[in-house]
Amino acid sequence: MYRWLILIVAAFILYKLFIGDRGRKKDQEAETKKRMAATGEMVKDPVCGTYVPADADIRARDGKNVYAFCSYECRDTFVKRLEASRTQSMEQGRPAEHVKDGRAD
């Protein structure tokens, strides 16, 4: 009987240690991402809000601004929104934007 009680208490203690360690690691990762974002090493994905390296491979340019993305899906969503807003502004009679290299500025 005492063996089972000791085994249950030991399992509970190990469980708590494991959960506490995961929580600390998660907090440290969040702090590291905040610090990297503050120094400019990481930027926020404009679609989903994930932090990605500033020199990420998946990027899109809008005029002088360059945006980094976590995935091609986020980049495609951003480009579609950008094109939709340009189409909407042209339909409302605003002056057309200057087009350079096939892209509007």
Q: Looking at the chain, list the stretches that DSSP marks H as alpha helix, in order from N- to C-terminal side.
A: 2-39, 72-91
**Does residue 54 contact residue 42 with C-beta atoms inside 8 Å?**
yes
Find, among 62, 65, 63, 81, the residue nearest to 54 by Cα: 65
pTM: 0.53
87 pLDDT band, cuts 50/70/90, is confident
Residue numbers of the domain that contains 95: 41-105
Same domain membership, residue 46 and residue 35: no
Is the pLDDT confidence value at 4 over 80? yes
Residue 73 pLDDT: 93
Q: Are residues 16 and 56 in the same domain?
A: no
Determine contact, residues 51/33, Cβ cutoff 8 Å: yes
Same domain flag for 15 and 57: no
